[in-house]
């Protein structure tokens, strides 16, 4: 595995290698990230993973400065997973000057995480665009864990006609069904997040047999021990909200909430 610590090293690497399948991350890697690498290998033997904690997607009161940094362990995991290269750019490689660019795709960003984190998707689009321009990958692999992010980036790539195929990879969960997340490490133990997860799966099971609206309301009251951000059923295709009578499309239950100061998100796919 080659470690690329600057844009110059990246450029030299690109000249010598073929089609790149690219997996962007912010590090603190777990099996969810590693599963993206497994997906990437189906598209190219040349898998490049990046580790960069992107400041522009955090607002002033969020956890940018305390976001877990575990670079030595991350490099060991990446080496074991068989990636060809890891790009660990400096802040100057990505933001040589402060970014004033404002990218937006309002029909996908003005809902769910975009409401409570209005800066978030602009920051994500900026960093992913910069990484795509620097790396020139043929494939970009994103996790369904951040499903809204996947749709936003896919739409950005299409709108700008970028020559990269955006591929989604399924959510990896622990044995209790909790989605793996770097932020799970903030908890002393996972009892509460696992309890939330069970409530969400029960909601999806019940929503098949009852009206969605009332099941969502019941579930919200079950989740009253946390600071709920949203609990909504929307289309997997374009995030349009579920309406009574919509019964052909693929839906997702989207959840975000804060418990003990830690923000958790999840989504569960289902058909009605």
Rounded Cα distance, 117 and 58, in Å: 8
Task: Specify whether 33 is catalytic.
Answer: yes
Position 35 contacts ligand AMP (CB under 6 A): yes
Kindly tell me which residue out of 47, 125, 179, 203 binds ligand AMP, with binding defined by CB under 6 A. Answer: 179
Mark residues 200-239: x for contact with ligand AMP by CB under 6 A, - for none. Answer: ----------------------------------------
Position 46 contacts ligand AMP (CB under 6 A): no
Position 197 contacts ligand AMP (CB under 6 A): no
Rounded Cα distance, 167 and 21, in Å: 10
Task: Name residues contacting ligand AMP, limited to 122-151 (CB under 6 A).
Answer: 142-143, 145-146
Span interacting with ligand AMP, options 14-22, 166-174, 211-219, 243-251, rule CB under 6 A: 166-174
Rounded Cα distance, 256 and 231, in Å: 7
Position 71 contacts ligand AMP (CB under 6 A): no
Residue 99 burial (C-beta neighbours within 10 Å; 0-12, 13-18, 19+): middle
Phi and psi torsions of 2, nearest 5°? -95, 135
Residue 127 has, within 13 A of its CA and on its CB side, a CA count of: 23
Output the smallest distance, CB 267 to ligand AMP, in A.
10
Rounded Cα distance, 16 and 54, in Å: 28
Active site residues per annotation = 33
């Amino acid at each position: 595995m080659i470690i690329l610590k600057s844009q110059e090293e990246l450029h030299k690497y690109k000249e010598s290698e073929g089609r790149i399948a690219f997996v962007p991350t912010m590090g603190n890697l777990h099996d969810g990230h590693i599963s993206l690498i497994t997906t990437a290998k189906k598209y190219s033997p040349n898998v490049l993973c990046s580790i960069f904690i992107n400041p522009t997607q955090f607002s002033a009161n969020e956890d940018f400065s305390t976001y877990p940094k575990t670079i030595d362990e991350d490099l060991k995991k990446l080496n074991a997973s068989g990636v060809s290269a890891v790009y660990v750019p400096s802040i100057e490689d990505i933001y040589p000057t402060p970014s004033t660019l404002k990218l937006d795709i309002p029909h996908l960003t003005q809902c769910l995480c975009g409401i409570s984190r209005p800066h978030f998707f602009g920051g994500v689009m900026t960093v992913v665009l910069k990484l795509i321009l620097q790396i020139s990958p043929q494939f970009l692999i994103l996790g369904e864990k951040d499903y809204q992010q996947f749709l936003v980036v896919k739409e950005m790539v299409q709108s700008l006609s970028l020559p990269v195929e955006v591929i989604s990879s399924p959510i990896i969960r622990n044995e209790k069904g909790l989605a793996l997340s770097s932020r799970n490490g903030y908890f002393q133990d996972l009892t509460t997040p696992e309890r939330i997860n069970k409530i969400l799966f029960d909601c999806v099971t019940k929503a098949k047999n009852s009206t969605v609206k009332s099941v969502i309301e019941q579930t919200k009251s079950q989740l009253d021990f946390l600071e709920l951000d949203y609990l909504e059923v929307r289309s997997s295709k374009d995030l349009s909200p579920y309406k009574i009578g919509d019964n052909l499309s693929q839906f997702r239950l989207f959840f975000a909430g804060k418990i003990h100061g830690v923000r958790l998100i999840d989504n569960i796919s289902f058909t009605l």
